[in-house]
Homo-oligomer: A and B are copies of this chain.
Amino acid sequence: MSEAMMDFNDSPEQANYRMQCRSWLAEALTDFDGRRPHFPDFDVPEVMAAARAWQSRKAAAGYAAISSPRGYGGGGGSRIEQEIFDQEERASPAPFTDVFDIGLGMALPTMAAFATPEQKSALLPPLIAGRDIWCQLFSEPSCGSDLAAVRTRAIRDGTDWILDGQKIWTSYAQHADYGLILTRSNPDVPKHKGLTCFFIDMRAPGVEVRPIVQMAGIAEYNEVFFTGVRVPDAQRLGEVDGGWSVALSTLMHERTLGGAGKVRGLTIADIIEGARKLQIGDVPALADGAVRERIADWWIDMEGIRLNYYRALTLLTRGETPGPEFSAGKLMSGRQVQEMAAFMLDLSGPSAIDIGDDSDSAGLAMEWLMAARRRLAGGADEIMKNILAERVLGLPVEPRLDKDIPFRDLF
């Protein structure tokens, strides 16, 4: 056999690191009772407290932001070590820490690329340690998928900027200490060319956050209103009117590898277990060909996404950057969880109408209701397909009527 053979197993160093993670997790989690809600609602004080405590504990042990430099409070490790820890953590009953995901996944790399050394030293350690929560203020009511159409104005005033406008669908803004914001600094040039990015203090005067209750009854998103909010020019990220490339780099972090290894929720094991218990007529649902074929189809896709994620990790290990083709995972997983949950509800029959807190279907129904969000957040299915078509397959963009027209003439 050739030396250049594929290897799914950990290298000796990696195996060692995995054991280290596993035993640390086992010990660190003796404090927790392991009971978690189906989905974390960070408006519940205990859920938030558990998240902060856990994030801080990880940071103290070097397991928060493992692949970030130690100087900022990171672990100074590799991307593969990060993945090994994530795998082990996902397999454990650790408290949910989703409220830090935007900070760690998007704000951290964006700040690392565009902020000053002083800003990084001041802001990144509390971000990593779970003391500060960050949000991303891009979407607006009038622009969903078309981010370059944001209208929130930024007007220069001496060494400051004055911000006025409205953002929407801002995850966890009600808890956030800081935010990354995309603004319209110049309406007299085409829409992609008049944008500027900043980081802002979410407690600054003039910032008002109003939570949006979602269909599943949880408020993860918010509307955020800006009325004469003063932001020092020192908090600008990137060039004046150069915000589009900052936003693109932030979004790239959101989308690359999105969903591939990180999907929480229904698994094939859950489906098999559920189908063992349910009956169709007199036989277990698991004996029914229609159920079995779907299990195979879903496994093919989920396992394919998982294996594909290993291809991406291999590239990272080799120092290469995985391309946008790996964002297919996000596209596939939202739809699939939606399908699986709907199928299991249907298979359960009338009793699945009861989704009260103590019912058998409560968890399944929550997956089903939250799946719609997965298909929309971080790029709707349709937008993800456009991105794959244009960036991976090189197909032409739609005819654009708005590209060379000054922003102020578009409406």
- A293 on interface, CB distance cutoff 8 Å: yes
How far, in Å, is A401 (CB) from chain B's closest CB? 6
- A5 on interface, CB distance cutoff 8 Å: no
Q: In the complex, which of the residues B289, B398, B399, B401 contacts A289, with contact meaning CB atoms closer than 8 Å?
A: B289
| Inter-chain contacts of A399 with B (CB < 8 A) | 398-399, 401
- Within 386-411 of A, Cβ neighbours of B (below 8 Å) are at 398-399, 401
| Inter-chain contacts of A289 with B (CB < 8 A) | 280, 288-293
Cα of A399 to Cα of B397 in the assembled complex, Å: 13
| Inter-chain contacts of A290 with B (CB < 8 A) | 289-290, 292-293
Q: Closest residue to A280 on the B side, CB-wise?
A: B289
Q: Mark A326-355, 1 if CB is under 8 A from B, else 0.
A: 000000000000000000000000000000
| Inter-chain contacts of A398 with B (CB < 8 A) | 399
Q: Closest residue to A285 on the B side, CB-wise?
A: B289
Q: Mark A238-251, 1 if CB is under 8 A from B, else 0.
A: 00000000000000
Q: Mark A288-325, 1 if CB is under 8 A from B, else 0.
A: 11111100000000000000000000000000000000
Cα of A290 to Cα of B293 in the assembled complex, Å: 7
Identical subunits present: 2
| Inter-chain contacts of A288 with B (CB < 8 A) | 289
How far, in Å, is A344 (CB) from chain B's closest CB? 15
Q: Closest residue to A399 on the B side, CB-wise?
A: B399
- Within 142-157 of A, Cβ neighbours of B (below 8 Å) are at none
Cα of A123 to Cα of B356 in the assembled complex, Å: 73
| Inter-chain contacts of A292 with B (CB < 8 A) | 289-290
Q: Mark A213-240, 1 if CB is under 8 A from B, else 0.
A: 0000000000000000000000000000
Q: Mark A262-305, 1 if CB is under 8 A from B, else 0.
A: 00000000000000000010000000111111000000000000
| Inter-chain contacts of A293 with B (CB < 8 A) | 289-290
How far, in Å, is A333 (CB) from chain B's closest CB? 24
Cα of A30 to Cα of B297 in the assembled complex, Å: 51
How far, in Å, is A235 (CB) from chain B's closest CB? 39
| Inter-chain contacts of A291 with B (CB < 8 A) | 289
How far, in Å, is A33 (CB) from chain B's closest CB? 41
Q: Closest residue to A296 on the B side, CB-wise?
A: B290
Cα of A398 to Cα of B399 in the assembled complex, Å: 9
Q: Closest residue to A293 on the B side, CB-wise?
A: B290
| Inter-chain contacts of A401 with B (CB < 8 A) | 399
Cα of A290 to Cα of B401 in the assembled complex, Å: 47
Interface hub of A280, A291, A293 (most chain B Cβ within 10 A): A293
Q: Mark A111-148, 1 if CB is under 8 A from B, else 0.
A: 00000000000000000000000000000000000000
In the complex, besides A289-B291, A290-B293, 6 extra interface pairs with C-beta distance below 8 angstroms are A280-B289, A289-B289, A289-B290, A290-B290, A290-B292, A399-B401
B-contacting residues of A (Cβ < 8 Å)?
Answer: 280, 288-293, 398-399, 401
Q: What are some 13 contacts across the A-B interface (CB < 8 A)?
A: A280-B289, A288-B289, A289-B289, A289-B290, A289-B291, A289-B292, A289-B293, A290-B290, A290-B292, A290-B293, A398-B399, A399-B399, A399-B401
The 3 A-B residue pairs whose C-beta atoms are closest, nearest first, are A289-B289, A289-B290, A288-B289
